[in-house]
Amino acid sequence: MVSQLSEAMLDVIADALVDKGYILLSDIIPTFVSLALLEKMQAKQDVDFKLAAIGRGSEQQVNTDIRSDKISWLDNQDQIDNGFLSIMEQLKDGLNRRLFMGLFDYESHYAVYEKGAHYKKHVDALKGSQNRILSTVFFLNPLWQQADGGELIIYDENDTIIATVPPLMGTLAVFLSERFPHEVLPTNRTRNSIAGWFRVSNANHGF
């Protein structure tokens, strides 16, 4: 398949991850891909989405005080999902070539936050667990207004806010999973996103 991410774009992303540990991008996923993802998401929302759980393995539980989004996992056998996943694959390969991150696979889910839903401050990977290494959040909300709320707030290690990201169609946030606590503020209207994580394959292999 023809690469959709240019070498120059991959250089910019790699440099930002080295310098700051995160980057906010727009225009990296073609509009026709985003629109297809949104259309599919909206068509499936009433049937296929389940309240997201927190915790791992047998500790998993739904706790809507902490997070109240509903999710559905992407599947690389699905043509629409694959439009997005193939670009994430290019990102993975491009970063591995530049930074030797050892990124091995990528898991991702659609998430719908209905009016009033939120996700309290959390980190996507516990320090030293070296499983989820790099987080991505892709937003699918055309015409988002400030009054709609639902911003992604990213903090640094000292709990200072470093980015307030409106969940606007086409924005992709990429950040190191262990380093940045983040939260989703309550949304005032339905908010659609795809959250994903690049993982390494074993505990000795990290960034």
Site residues (vs ligand AKG, CB under 6 A):
111, 119, 124, 137, 152, 182, 184, 193, 195
Q: 119: part of which helix (H) or strand (E)?
A: strand 119-122
Question: How far apart are the C-alpha atoms of 84 and 59, rounded to whole Å?
Answer: 30
Question: Judged by CB under 5 A, which stretch of 17-25, 26-34, 61-69, 120-128 contacts Fe ion?
Answer: 120-128
Asked if 151 is part of the footprint of Fe ion (rule: CB under 5 A), the reply reads no
CB of 153 to Fe ion, least distance (A): 11
Over its C-alpha atoms, the chain yields an Rg (Å, rounded) of 16
Binders of Fe ion in range 123-142 (CB under 5 A):
124
What is the rounded end-to-end Cα distance, in angstroms, of the chain?
28
Q: Count of residues binding Fe ion (CB under 5 A)? A: 1
What residue 184 binds from ligand AKG, Fe ion, none (CB within 5 to 8 A, per partner kind)?
ligand AKG
CB of 193 to ligand AKG, least distance (A): 4
CB of 11 to Fe ion, least distance (A): 26
**What helix, strand, coil percent values describe the chain, rounded to 5?**
30, 30, 40
CB of 120 to Fe ion, least distance (A): 10
Question: How far apart are the C-alpha atoms of 137 and 29, rounded to whole Å?
Answer: 12
Give the Cβ contact number of residue 102 at 10 Å.
18
What tokens does 51 get? 């309240």
What residue 111 binds from ligand AKG, Fe ion, none (CB within 5 to 8 A, per partner kind)?
ligand AKG
Chain residues binding Fe ion by CB under 5 A are 124
